[in-house]
Structure formats: C-alpha cells, structure tokens
Structure 1
C-alpha cells in the first residue's frame, strides 16, 4: 500500500507539472498575433487541462482514502 501511495503522489506531481505547461502554452498562443489561427490548438490544450484536473481530483481522493485506511 505504501508503494501505491507513493506512486499516486508522483503521478499527481507529474500531472500538475503537465497542467502548468499546458496553461503556459495556452497563454502563449492567446497572445500571438492572430490567435484565431491557433484556436484548435488552444481548445485542445484547454480540454487536456480539464481532463488532467479531473485526474488530479481523483488521485487526491484516492490518496485520502488510502491515508484514512492505513
């Protein structure tokens, strides 16, 4: 169980790092000249951010459940 907990913590850290990078990518694309040209890339990045944020929520819930049961 300890290994699973540490794996979840590391997965959460990696996902949060990816979220941060995606948010920076969106900011960069939005300030470019003619941001409409990058609309599909911005939308894709925003959808990925949402999916990863759900993942973080679920990982945090699982970490909490594991911590309570140990």
Structure 2
C-alpha cells in the first residue's frame, strides 16, 4: 500500500489523539478489569503504530514508494 507524507501525518495525529484519550480513561478504570486490560493493550498498540509511522515519515515515503512491500 502506498501512503503520502500527508496521509502519514494525518494518521499520526489521529492515533496520537486517540492515545491521549486512552491514557486519560485509564485513570477511571479499575486495575485488573477487562476494560483496563483492553485499554493497556490499546495504548501499547498505538505506541507501536506511532513508532512505525514516524519511521516511515523519516524514511521519506512518498506517493511512489511502497510502505509495505
């Protein structure tokens, strides 16, 4: 799949926003509950996604470059 730098930046903003919301929600969740566990896993997944997007932005993936070969 191919992504423009603008698409990557927009995806990064969206994921970062959702990550912040999850981190705020953690304050209200009881440790050990299924909601807490799910939110912890989502936070980890969003962190990984942000790292991968940053890597692609640094690499300079353009519209003619494949992000996932």
**What TM-score, normalized by structure 2, do the two folds share?**
0.78
Query: How many residues end up aligned between the 2 structures?
Result: 59
List structure 1 segments (4+ residues) > 2 angstroms apart after TM superposition.
none
C-alpha RMSD of matched pairs (Å):
1.7
Higher helix share: 1
Shift of 1:28: 1.6
Quick check: 1:13 aligned with 2:13?
yes
Q: Provide structure 2 residue ranges, at least 5 long, that are not aligned to the other structure.
A: 62-69
Encode CA deviations 1:4-40: one digit per residue, 9 max, x unaligned: 00100010000000000001111122xxxxx35x711
| Aligned counterparts of 2:51 and 2:37: Cα–Cα separation in 1 | 21
Quick check: 1:63 aligned with 2:51?
no
Give the structure 2 partner of residue 27 of structure 1. Answer: 27
**What TM-score, normalized by structure 1, do the two folds share?**
0.77
